[in-house]
Amino acid sequence: MTDDVDDETITLAHGAGTGRTTELIEETVLPHLASNGQESVGLEALDDGAVHDVGDRAIVTTTDSHVVSPRSFPGGDLGRLAVAGTVNDLAVMGATDPLSLTCSLVVEEGTPLSEVESVLESMAATCEEAECAITTGDTKVMGSGEIDGIVVNTTGVAIIPDGEHVPDAGLSTGDKLILSGPVGDHGIALLAEREGFDLEGDLESDVAPINGLVAAALEAGTVTAMKDPTRGGFATAVNEMVRKADVGATVDETAIPVGDTVASSGELLGIDPLDVANEGKVLLGVDPEDAEAVLEAIRSHPLGEDAAVVGEVTDDHAGRVVLDTGFGRRYLSEPEGVQLPRIC
């Protein structure tokens, strides 16, 4: 056709954690960066982290660069996000006890020192909460305008018994899908803060390390697959999990916990809480026999009081998630970079 989209430059959509991101990774990154074949979970798996077997144990690693605007927001800040993000990526691999975190700070010239300090303070406090420590690091300063404020990269390393990692691709038919708490808090709270929307109520990010909660879940029963529903939200996470396992799922929309303020704000803004980021939640696939025990264990944890079974893995509709809205059934689609109306 004429006027084709220019696919040659990176757009913000490539970073939104949605279809475009996958495309960027699969078509541009992976051809260059092949794993060396010595991992049980490598780059190609596009999981939350990598797993390397070493004798009867396995090393789990993960890395994430954190930027957020504004750097401080209701419920958290950049420092808390940088630690929780990496601790959670390890946790959803089944590694709930981090051995080491690294911290690489890239700071823009002109940033007040007090801001850097407050980020570091928050990182320390979050480490304490997650019972982990930053054991190595690096700092760089860039010229004014070369980056926006502060970028924090953290890498996490953990050691677990060989074969005990939990992939995001492990769902099988009959598994229950458990969500550890209400969705949409981080995305909506951050948006409201950034854009200065005067949304009534107490919007707060859920950013928190959830390794303790995940440990309790793993203790209670067989968890087959896990993912933290960050960028792209619950909708993206659940679709990715069923696609990777080549199974289907039905999700009961009315069972998905959503806070009142998030629900009403989402409605006002036209944003579906299922589509936006969370930073303190986990979506688990659980063996049906253990579902109740795992749910109970998660609910006993302070961060999991509102956990719920939200769906079930099926063998029909492979690769798709059917959302039962209470009025009818439709496919739960993944948000693209920009929300695209599809109704005529």
Q: Give the binding site for other proteins (CB under 8 A).
A: 1-5, 19, 191, 195-200, 267-271, 316-317, 320, 322, 327-331, 333-334, 336, 338-344
**With binding defined as CB under 5 A, does residue 48 bind Mg ion?**
yes
Q: Which residue has the tokens 């691999």?
A: 93
Name which of 48 and 240 has its Cβ closer to Mg ion: 48
89 binds, among Mg ion, other proteins, none (CB under 5 to 8 A by kind): Mg ion
Length of the chain: 344
CB of 150: closest distance to other proteins in angstroms? 24
5 binds, among other proteins, Mg ion, none (CB under 5 to 8 A by kind): other proteins
**For 46, left (φ over 0), alpha (ψ -120 to 50), or beta?**
left
Name which of 5 and 113 has its Cβ closer to other proteins: 5
**With binding defined as CB under 5 A, does residue 89 bind Mg ion?**
yes
CB of 322: closest distance to other proteins in angstroms? 5
Name which of 285 and 322 has its Cβ closer to Mg ion: 285
343 binds, among Mg ion, other proteins, none (CB under 5 to 8 A by kind): other proteins
Name which of 279 and 312 has its Cβ closer to Mg ion: 279
Site for Mg ion in 144-173 (CB under 5 A): none
175 binds, among Mg ion, other proteins, none (CB under 5 to 8 A by kind): none
48 binds, among other proteins, Mg ion, none (CB under 5 to 8 A by kind): Mg ion
237 binds, among other proteins, Mg ion, none (CB under 5 to 8 A by kind): none
Who contacts 76 (Cβ-Cβ below 8 Å, separation ≥6)? 84, 122, 205, 207, 208, 279
Q: Where on the chain is the footprint of Mg ion (CB under 5 A)?
A: 48, 89
